[in-house]
Amino acid sequence: MKLVLAGAGAFGVKHLEALQKIDDVEVAALVGGKLDATKEVAARFGIAHATTDLVDALSQPGVEAAILCTPTQMHAAQAMQCLTAGKHVMVEIPLADRLDDAEAVARLQQEAGLVAMVGHTRRFNPSHQYLHKKIVAGELAIQQMDVQTYFFRRTNINALGQPRSWTDHLLWHHAAHTVDLFAYQSGGQIVAANALQGPIHPTLGIAMDMSIQLKSSTGAICTLSLSFNNEGPLGTFFRYICDNGTYIARYDDLFNGKEEKIDVSKVDVSMNGIELQDREFIAAIREGREPNASVAKVLPCYRVLHQLEQQLKAAG
């Protein structure tokens, strides 16, 4: 299968590393914002074609699908560009930063009948998969999730410490992971959602601190704290308080409430959530089925984010 990957930054590299581990997959073209830098990454991964033009990449011979790791503000338009060109698409989280755009992608996917998936990686991390299987089997029921998403940010830099041309967002990007995961793990729909935010940063133009409360139709609740002001530890940490045990998930690793590590190495074929996400996208295309984290499945998350944004705007 020949793919296009758009976005030669930190997350694009993570996907390129993951795709190298999947059989019978070739990245035929790499798209980036600056041609010289894109060519450097392409050479590192043995990619024959480097370009700054997504249309050029999609037109390369034999290309069936695209993975988009571009700035948030481009996600929806580029996803629709791929679908219109007859290509399957996976777009990194978030699908969009406006509900109207997310719903437009969902409509186009239905019309095109192609695979369209969003990078809600938490659905694929072995730690969360381990718990999801226990929940589905009836061994656990979530009572509460307590989640901390903490970074330290003063300028627009990516995960590699390189300058970023766009502004990240606590609500539409980082909260999207947890809003979707909470609904997915609780097995219900989010029936109540509230948000508060701290001051807007004078340069970045975004709130640097945010607090979100959620309630599922199952009765489970979730408290999410997000900050760009935290000096460490950095990352996202999930505490699952269940009717039968407490669990702490740190990306692909899982611990019980006593901080004893749980072996999740047999949950899936890899311990890398990005690789597992990419494997699901490719398998869904090959098998002609809807993937986990399809646009349709994650769309309710973006409706909740829109509701929270409206609350925050009303509160001033």
Same domain? 161 vs 110: no
Nearest in space to 105 (alpha carbons), one of 89, 119, 123: 89
* Average pLDDT of the chain, as a whole number: 95
pLDDT in tens, 75-112: 999 999 999 999 999 999 999 999 999 999 999 999 99
Same domain? 305 vs 159: yes
pLDDT given at position 116? 98
In the predicted model, is pLDDT for residue 281 greater than 90?
Answer: yes
pLDDT given at position 158? 56
Q: What are phi and psi of 71, to 5 degrees?
A: -55, 145
The CATH number of whichever domain residue 157 belongs to comes to: 3.30.360.10
| Whole-number percent of the chain with pLDDT over 90 | 91
Number of separate domains in the chain: 2
Same domain? 107 vs 136: no
pLDDT given at position 160? 56
Same domain? 213 vs 284: no
Same domain? 259 vs 130: yes
The model's confidence at residue 33, banded by pLDDT at 50, 70 and 90, is very high
Same domain? 115 vs 178: no
**Which residues are CB-neighbours of 189 under 8 A, at least 6 positions away?**
183, 216, 217, 300
How far apart, in whole angstroms, are the C-alpha atoms of residue 43 and residue 49? 9
Q: Given the structure tokens 């990686």, which residue do they identify?
A: 121
pLDDT in tens, 133-159: 999 999 999 999 999 999 998 776 655
Q: Where are the alpha helices (DSSP H) in the chain?
A: 10-19, 35-44, 54-58, 75-84, 99-112, 126-136, 176-186, 273-287, 295-315
Sheet holding 26-31, edge to edge: 49-51, 26-31, 2-6, 63-68, 88-92, 116-119
pLDDT given at position 232? 87
Same domain? 42 vs 107: yes
In the predicted model, is pLDDT for residue 211 greater than 70?
Answer: yes
pLDDT given at position 157? 65
pTM: 0.94
Same domain? 25 vs 96: yes
In the predicted model, is pLDDT for residue 164 greater than 60?
Answer: no
In the predicted model, is pLDDT for residue 219 greater than 70?
Answer: yes
Rounded average pLDDT over 16-26: 97
Structural domain range at position 250: 122-272+301-315
Same domain? 138 vs 78: no
The model's confidence at residue 208, banded by pLDDT at 50, 70 and 90, is very high
In the predicted model, is pLDDT for residue 264 greater than 80?
Answer: yes
Give the number of other CB atoms < 10 A from CB of residue 128.
25
Same domain? 155 vs 64: no
The CATH number of whichever domain residue 41 belongs to comes to: 3.40.50.720
Nearest in space to 309 (alpha carbons), one of 149, 195, 211, 175: 195
Same domain? 81 vs 16: yes
Same domain? 127 vs 236: yes
What are the structure tokens assigned to 10, written together? 């930190």
**Which residues are CB-neighbours of 259 under 8 A, at least 6 positions away?**
248
| Whole-number percent of the chain with pLDDT over 70 | 96
pLDDT given at position 162? 63
